[in-house]
């Protein structure tokens, strides 16, 4: 990636994390916690250092929207998305055709209800597994935006197939090799990943290390030209003998990334640990037991200035956008499952589709779909431009997974009533798959805290660290601003902070979005204003809790969620405004209205309820764009609807 380059840095990650660690000690943390949080901080700094300055977090759209005086209007929506190349487009069409064929013939799943090997092979023949890999290595060279939008399409046919493409291309071996592999590693390994000869997985989580990646225990030690890996991995999607997996383990105490080619059968050095797992039921997901498992040293990935977590974070960013894209497709399938049923099912003499409650659900579901489309296109566009985009991808992941969970339970399940729980029902058969995205690739609330940390990091360094450093240097443990000596000691950092704060309070310039449709620009302007105003509130929260802020998780989570919601409103409004289809525009606008009401604590207005039910009723007769690949599902337990009436 040409945009990955080393920017000039003021202080090394190690230096910065030393200060962060000192600050945490002052905040009363244990030595162990300080060490681990310092390590996480350093890993994050190392990821930052991979990007040129203009693509780092402080210059990302969300960070700038909150802290900068100039609102980065142009970075919240990209007008044109380039079409895939002819070969990539052909692969995409053929892959959809393969998926359709196997679904229709009933040959998608084997006797264990896992995707059958011939399906994976047929997809390989289309070039599916090489979509993200350049033609020089036998791939199709799709941009990430093209890939992510295609995943939405594939998820409308089968979400597991879309998910496997993401595991292979984003978090598995493909992205680490594309981004961090040297010329030799790319030449040796990418062609086999592109052709689908090797499918890949990503082994990060361990029994003792999921949310807390500083607790990783798997180690690799050098033995001649090899590394020997020993340890246990857990929950690894798509792992099977013969696959090529990215393993994060410790080498000389530091996290590292190794590409391991698994043997074709289990051995004393490599075994799978099988368990009963309901989620991702059609994919293989196992634990891995390594015991001096040999990997050539030439397969060690070298992240300049970084380590194994740097590599993991890079792929996870993409995986999180892919997850949102998958949710957009899965929710389309839910919508297209709701509508025929709601037209068929009559209660009290009328089809339930004619009732407001059901119409509202369809209208609301369309809004969630449009928001996921908007976030997918926006985040993928940022990644294609070269942005780190970590905060933005976290928003897409949290919103996508929560929207899918809400849609599954509140909209899909409730509308289908008891039939939701029948075997063969989209909800009943897949309930765990529909909920699990809230957990994998980072549990949502934990990610929300990480989002908040990224948001406040630079502000803390600029304005609060100098105060902390001065206090540390002068030995003042309990600063008291009523004490003239303390005030004098702190005069410089306090003056800098006051200048920032008053400047921000006096700043009145608001971004204007009046080129948007009249129904949409007020939402865009309101949410942009919300983000600008959030700086004062976030800063006041930092001031109030100071070094204890890390322990005020509930406050951080609450603030984080509101900021994320404002971003969703803004992106959805801008995206909807750029669409020609009236239902998409309407769905986006209504989603923005509902989220705004949530943020301001207002009840939904009668006008909103009328509009959302009207949209739902319209969807019963006119399909939402992007649903044409969906295969019709039978109505379960049908009956003669006219008889007896
Ligand atoms: C279906 C599925 C597929 C998966 N696929 C993969 C894969 O392919 N590769 C891979 O490496 N991993 C995979 N995972 C693992 C997944 O990423 C982890 O489950 C996830 O990151 C959470 O880790 P954990 O389960 O260990 O949760 P834990 O670390 O045990 O945390 C449990 C919960 O405790 C709370 N919590 C934890 N720490 C804190 C804290 N400091 N403060 C406040 N609350 C806290 C959070 O709510 C958290 O969700 C998969 C998981 C599932 C379910």
Q: Calculate mean pLDDT across residues 178-198.
A: 97
| Ligand 1, atom nearest to 443 Cα | 49
pLDDT tens track for 111-125: 999 999 999 999 999
166 within ligand 1 shell (Cβ under 6 A): no
436 within ligand 1 shell (Cβ under 6 A): yes
Query: What is the pLDDT at residue 34?
Result: 61
Q: Is the pLDDT of residue 93 over 50?
A: yes
Q: Is the pLDDT of residue 10 over 70?
A: no
624 within ligand 1 shell (Cβ under 6 A): no
Q: Calculate mean pLDDT across residues 129-144.
A: 98
Stretch among 93-97, 148-152, 227-231, 622-626 having the lowest mean pLDDT: 622-626
pLDDT tens track for 569-619: 999 999 999 999 999 999 999 999 999 999 999 999 999 999 999 999 999
- Per-residue burial over 190-215, b = 16 or more CB atoms within 10 Å of its CB, e = otherwise: bbbbbbbebbbbbbbbbeebbeebbe
| Ligand 1, atom nearest to 204 Cα | 11
As a 3-state breakdown, the chain gives helix, strand, coil percent values, each rounded to 5, of 60, 10, 30
DSSP 152-210: HHHHHH-HHHHHHHHIIIIISSHHHHHHH--HHHHHHHHHHHHHTSS-EEEE--BTTBS
pLDDT tens track for 428-447: 999 999 999 999 999 999 99
Q: Is 434 left (phi over 0), alpha (psi -120 to 50) or beta?
A: alpha
Reduced to 3 states (helix: H, G, I; strand: E, B; else coil), residue 303 is: coil
Cα separations (Å) of 496 from 463, 492, 500, 555?
7, 6, 6, 26
The residue whose CA has the least distance to atom 12 of ligand 1 is 205
Ligand 1 centroid from CA 398, angstroms: 14
89 within ligand 1 shell (Cβ under 6 A): no
Ligand 1 centroid from CA 202, angstroms: 14
Ligand 1 centroid from CA 34, angstroms: 21
pLDDT tens track for 305-319: 678 888 999 999 999
pLDDT tens track for 448-503: 999 999 999 999 999 999 999 999 999 988 888 889 999 999 999 999 999 999 99
DSSP 593-619: HHHHHHHHTPPPPHHHHHHHHHHHHHH
CA angle 293-271-225, nearest 5°?
A: 10
Give residue for tokens 């350093």.
42
Which residue has better confidence, 511 or 44?
511
| Ligand 1, atom nearest to 277 Cα | 1
CA distance 583 to 225: 60
pLDDT tens track for 216-246: 999 999 999 999 999 999 999 999 999 999 9
CA distance 290 to 449: 33
CA distance 133 to 151: 16
Reduced to 3 states (helix: H, G, I; strand: E, B; else coil), residue 7 is: coil
pLDDT-derived band at 259 (thresholds 50, 70, 90) equals very high
Ligand 1 centroid from CA 618, angstroms: 40
Mean pLDDT rounded to a whole number for the chain: 92
The residue whose CA has the least distance to atom 16 of ligand 1 is 440
DSSP 84: P
| Ligand 1, atom nearest to 439 Cα | 20
Query: What is the pLDDT at residue 307?
Result: 84
CA distance 559 to 562: 5
Query: What is the pLDDT at residue 562?
Result: 98
Q: Is the pLDDT of residue 5 over 80?
A: no
Ligand 1 centroid from CA 558, angstroms: 21
Ligand 1 centroid from CA 299, angstroms: 27
Query: What is the pLDDT at residue 26?
Result: 45
List the helix and strand counts (H, then E) for the chain: 22, 10
Q: Is 512 left (phi over 0), alpha (psi -120 to 50) or beta?
A: beta
- Per-residue burial over 16-34, b = 16 or more CB atoms within 10 Å of its CB, e = otherwise: bbebbbbbbbebebeeebb
Tell me whether residue 500 is exposed, middle or buried, using C-beta atoms within 10 angstroms of its C-beta: 0 to 12, 13 to 18, 19 or more.
middle
517 within ligand 1 shell (Cβ under 6 A): no
pLDDT-derived band at 7 (thresholds 50, 70, 90) equals very low
Query: What is the pLDDT at residue 47?
Result: 80
Query: What is the pLDDT at residue 547?
Result: 83
Q: Is the pLDDT of residue 75 over 60?
A: yes
Tell me whether residue 81 is exposed, middle or buried, using C-beta atoms within 10 angstroms of its C-beta: 0 to 12, 13 to 18, 19 or more.
middle
Pocket test for ligand 1, best of 240, 277, 312, 440 (most atoms within 8 A of CB): 440
DSSP 408: I
Q: Is the pLDDT of residue 31 over 70?
A: no
The residue whose CA has the least distance to atom 24 of ligand 1 is 210
Q: Is the pLDDT of residue 161 over 80?
A: yes
Q: Is the pLDDT of residue 212 over 70?
A: yes
Q: How many residues does the chain have?
A: 645
335 within ligand 1 shell (Cβ under 6 A): no
Residue 12, CB-side half-sphere exposure with 13 Å CA sphere: 5
């Amino acid at each position: 990636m040409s945009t990955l380059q080393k920017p000039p840095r003021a202080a090394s990650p190690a230096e910065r994390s030393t200060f962060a660690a000192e600050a945490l000690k002052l905040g009363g943390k244990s030595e162990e916690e300080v060490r681990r949080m310092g390590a996480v901080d350093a890993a994050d700094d190392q990821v930052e250092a991979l990007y040129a300055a203009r693509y780092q977090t402080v210059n990302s759209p969300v960070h700038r929207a909150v802290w900068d005086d100039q609102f980065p209007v142009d970075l919240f929506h990209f007008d044109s998305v380039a079409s895939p190349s002819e070969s990539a487009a052909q692969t995409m069409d053929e892959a959809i055709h393969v998926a359709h064929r196997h679904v229709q013939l009933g040959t998608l799943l084997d006797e264990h209800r896992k995707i059958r090997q011939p399906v994976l092979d047929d997809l390989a023949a289309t070039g599916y597994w090489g979509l993200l890999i350049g033609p020089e290595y036998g791939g199709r060279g799709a941009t990430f935006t093209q890939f992510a939008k295609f995943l939405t399409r594939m998820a409308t046919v089968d979400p597991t197939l879309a998910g496997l493409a993401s595991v292979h291309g984003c978090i598995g071996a493909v992205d680490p090799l594309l981004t961090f592999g040297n010329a030799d590693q790319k030449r040796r390994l990418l062609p086999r990943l592109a052709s689908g000869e090797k499918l890949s997985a990503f082994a990060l989580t361990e029994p003792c290390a999921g949310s807390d990646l500083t607790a990783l225990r798997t180690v690799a030690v050098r033995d001649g030209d090899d590394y020997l890996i020993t340890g246990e991995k857990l929950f690894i999607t798509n792992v099977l003998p013969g696959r090529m997996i990215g393993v994060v383990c410790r080498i000389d105490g530091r996290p590292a990334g190794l590409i391991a080619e698994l043997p074709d059968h289990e051995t004393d050095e490599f075994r799978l640990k099988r368990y009963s797992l309901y989620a991702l039921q059609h994919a293989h997901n196992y634990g891995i037991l390594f015991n001096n498992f040999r990997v050539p040293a030439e397969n060690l990935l070298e992240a300049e200035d970084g380590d194994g977590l740097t590599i993991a974070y890079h792929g996870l960013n993409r995986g999180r956008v892919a997850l949102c894209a998958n949710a957009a497709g899965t929710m389309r399938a839910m919508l297209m499952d709701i509508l025929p049923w709601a037209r068929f099912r009559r209660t009290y003499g009328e089809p339930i589709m004619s009732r407001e409650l059901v119409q509202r659900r369809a209208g609301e579901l369309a809004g969630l779909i449009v928001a996921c489309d908007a976030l997918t296109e926006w985040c993928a566009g940022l990644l294609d431009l070269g942005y780190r985009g970590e905060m933005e991808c976290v928003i897409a992941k949290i919103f996508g997974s929560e929207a899918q969970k809400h849609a599954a339970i509140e909209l899909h399940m409730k509308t289908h009533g008891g039939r939701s729980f029948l075997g063969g029902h989209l909800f009943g058969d897949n309930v765990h798959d529909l909920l699990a995205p809230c957990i994998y690739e980072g549990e949502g609330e934990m990610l929300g805290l990480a989002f908040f940390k990224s948001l406040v990091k630079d502000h803390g360094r600029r304005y609060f660290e100098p105060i902390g450093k001065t206090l540390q240097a002068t030995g003042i443990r309990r600063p008291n601003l009523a004490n003239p000596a303390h005030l004098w000691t702190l005069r410089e950092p306090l003056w800098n902070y006051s200048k920032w704060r008053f400047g921000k309070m006096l700043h009145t310039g608001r971004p204007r979005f009046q080129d948007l449709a009249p129904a949409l620009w007020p939402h865009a302007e309101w949410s942009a204003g919300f983000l600008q105003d959030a700086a004062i509130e976030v800063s006041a929260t930092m001031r109030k809790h100071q070094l204890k802020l890390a322990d005020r998780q509930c406050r951080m989570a609450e603030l984080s969620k509101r900021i994320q919601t404002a971003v969703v409103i803004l992106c959805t409004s801008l995206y909807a405004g750029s669409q020609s289809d009236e239902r998409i525009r309407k769905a986006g606008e209504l989603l923005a209205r509902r989220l705004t009401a949530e943020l301001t604590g207002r009840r939904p207005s009668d006008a909103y309820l009328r509009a959302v039910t009207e949209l739902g009723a319209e969807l019963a007769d006119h399909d939402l764009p992007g649903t044409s690949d969906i295969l019709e599902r039978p109505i379960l337990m049908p009956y003669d609807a006219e008889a007896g009436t």
